[in-house]
Amino acid sequence: MILLLATFQLRLLLPTFCVALAIGVAGYFMIWSTPIILGTGFGYFLAGPMVHYYLYELRFPNEYYFYFNAGLSKVLLGFTTLGLNGIVGATIVYNA
């Protein structure tokens, strides 16, 4: 089960980080000028669920059947995404 969750999350890791980095860079050029690393950490909280929704709900909705057959529900996959993004985002913000 842990291996399936890791496989699910590894597919989200790079796109989420790229979107979060873009949010961080955009925040740097705003009027309030948030530091890039801090903006990336806060962007990770926002980007994770967005990328999860885009990839698994809109782009590849049939991949959920693989995880359903393995015993993982959509709710569990969503909560693991929120939890992992919370941990990674908090780590980035804390180390900024």
Over the stretch 1-55, which tens digit does the pLDDT of each residue have?
899 999 999 999 999 999 999 999 998 888 888 888 899 999 999 999 999 999 9
What sign does the dihedral 12-81-51-72 (CA atoms) show?
A: positive
Say what the pTM is.
0.85
Alpha-carbon distance 36 to 34, whole Å?
A: 6
Alpha-carbon distance 18 to 21, whole Å?
A: 5
Alpha-carbon distance 72 to 60, whole Å?
A: 17
The domain spans of the chain are: 2-94
What sign does the dihedral 70-75-76-82 (CA atoms) show?
A: positive
